[in-house]
Amino acid sequence: MPVRKSRRLPPPSGVLVLVMASTGLVVVDLTIVAVGLPLIAGDVAGGASAESVVVTYMVAMGTLTQVVGSLSDRWGRRPLFLAGIAVFTLASLAATVAPSLLWLNVARVLQGAGAAVIMVNAIPLLSGRYTGEERNLAIGAWGSFATAAGLLAPTLGGLLVDSLGWRAVFAVNLPLGAAVWLLAVRVLPRSPATSPAGRTDWLGSLLLMCGLGTATLVMLRPDGAPWSGQDTTALLIAPAALAAFMVVQFRVPAPTLDLRMFGRPAFSGAMLAIFLSRVLTIGGSVHLVLYFSDGLGLSPTGAGLLMTPIFVAQLVMGMVGSKLLSHWAPGLVIGSGYALKGVGLAALALLITPDTAWWALLVPLLAWGAGGGIAGAPVMAVAVRVTAPERVGMVAGTVSTLASLGAGVGTAALGMVFALQGGQGGQGGQGGHGGQAVTDGVRAVLGASAALSVVAVLVTLALIDPRRVPRPDRSEAPVS
């Protein structure tokens, strides 16, 4: 009788390439579609606004991340990851041939669902193939690549739309998605589920999706849109559903979100830091671009190029932060990153005027990006390190959910700060009254963001104490 050869585990580099490639698909699709919105509006929306094409993707992704993260612990990484890539790719095909806006929005919901599965499995897959310092570096490389993909997306979208039309931004996912799926089949091991046995928490999952979905819809309301009855209803449903979800989590044996994890100070500190970082980063960057265009009078291309130092510095320093985590206390590394980020934001708030030379902003922009890079990857590594191995998918879902909520809260809350300081009065043009109004509003936003950076530093130093975070062990087993 022939002896059946055991399947060798793939080299860790194959898993890293897989995670980077699949994450690139998801991150690029967050922004690449925005470039083609005017053409989409004229083609399938009858001239009406096509912003829903962006919103539906973000709502679906933000709503499902926690649920699918917990399911990946229960059902196993490989089957869920393969299903996520398949759904994302097939939904991209549906979007490519969409004859109407309704069809396109349904396809975008399915794309968002597939994207949620892909994103929440990134950290668990890396944790399952790397240990100790190598795990920190892998997570840092993944985060840096995701940042670079986000930087590339608008340029890639512009080239595709200008040369091939708006459908090309979806069609490009088809060969890439197929290649990623085949790579996943080859490199992902058939590992068992890690979560303890028990019934799936369907009630909790439904309540969480309801609460997060309605909350995300409220946060993604267009600026200046009149408040509607639907908005009021969503504002009432969201906290009620989330409160009911928390009650259910204490009553079921296998919860979607184990709230006891937040009893670990280091875990709570990492989650708060991730949330605050997204609040100040997304809200600050959105309004800084507005200052570049309406305050300094730069073209859209010029405004985009002036944001490049942030992303380049974050890309480079992300690997540095991961390396420092092996030598310094985690709280000190992360706190230093947020402190540097706060310094950059405060310097920008002091420097910007309608007459500021663009080159004078380069050093603060680099400080902002470098601080974010130093802090970003270590925060995720700490969250994984202080959590039980069977909860890694759940942790990844929590990270993604809080990051999405932070982005929405930052955009909404700092948008209010901008409006209260008269920023809505901007009319474009360098040096005019409109430019001064925009500058005043953006200075207030950057000042508030710098203050939030101080809060993030204090939270990090207080909660992510070295005594509460085990040091990486080179001999430890991978987290499956």
**Distance between CA atoms of 283 and 371, rounded to whole angstroms?**
16
Determine the average pLDDT of the residues in 52-65: 81
Residue, of 73 and 110, whose pLDDT is higher: 110
Cβ 75 vs Cβ 120: under 8 Å: no
Q: Round to whole Å and give the CA distance between 234 and 219.
A: 10
Under DSSP, is residue 2 helix (H, G, I), strand (E, B) or coil?
coil
Q: How far apart are CA 317 and CA 333, in angstroms?
A: 12
Highest mean pLDDT among 53-57, 129-133, 353-357, 431-435: 353-357
Residue 49: what pLDDT?
A: 60
pLDDT interval class at 347 (50, 70, 90): very high
When pLDDT is averaged across residues 298-326 and rounded to a whole number, the result is: 79
Q: What average pLDDT does this structure show over 147-172?
A: 79
Q: Highest mean pLDDT: which of 4-8, 80-84, 372-376?
A: 80-84
Which tokens belong to 93? 């095909």
The token pair that represents 381 in the structure block: 């590594």
Question: Mean pLDDT score of the chain, rounded to an integer?
Answer: 81
Distance CA 286, CA 277 (A): 14
- DSSP run (H or E) holding 468: none
d(CA 380, CA 395): 9
Banded model confidence at residue 45, pLDDT cuts 50, 70, 90:
low
Selection from 111-115, 133-137, 328-332 with the highest mean pLDDT = 111-115
Helix intervals (H) in 12-51:
12-31, 37-43
Local structure of 294: helix, strand or coil: helix
- Domains for the chain: give ranges and CATH numbers: 11-189 (1.20.1250.20), 258-471 (1.20.1250.20)
pLDDT for 301 equals: 65
Confidence of residue 470 (pLDDT cuts 50, 70, 90): low
Whether 427 has a pLDDT exceeding 60, the answer reads no
Q: Which two structure tokens, joined as six digits, stand for 270?
A: 């990492």
Burial letters 403-431, b for 16+ CB under 10 A, else e: bbbbbbbbbbbbbebbeebebeebeeeee
Q: What is the pLDDT confidence band of residue 195, given thresholds at 50, 70 and 90?
A: low
Secondary structure letter of residue 9 according to DSSP = P
What predicted TM-score, i.e. pTM, was given to this entire model? 0.78
Q: Work out the number of other CB atoms within 10 angstroms of the CB of residue 32.
A: 25
User: Under a CB-based contact definition with an 8 Å cutoff, are residues 214 and 234 in contact?
Assistant: yes
Assign 3-class secondary structure to 177-200: HHHHHHHHHHHCCCCCCCCCCCCC
Contact in structure between 175 and 96 (CB atoms under 8 Å):
no
In sequence order, the 6+-apart residues with CB closer than 8 A to the CB of 166 are 36, 39, 40, 43
d(CA 128, CA 479): 4
* Residue 106, helix vs strand vs coil: helix
Residue 180 confidence (pLDDT) above 90: yes
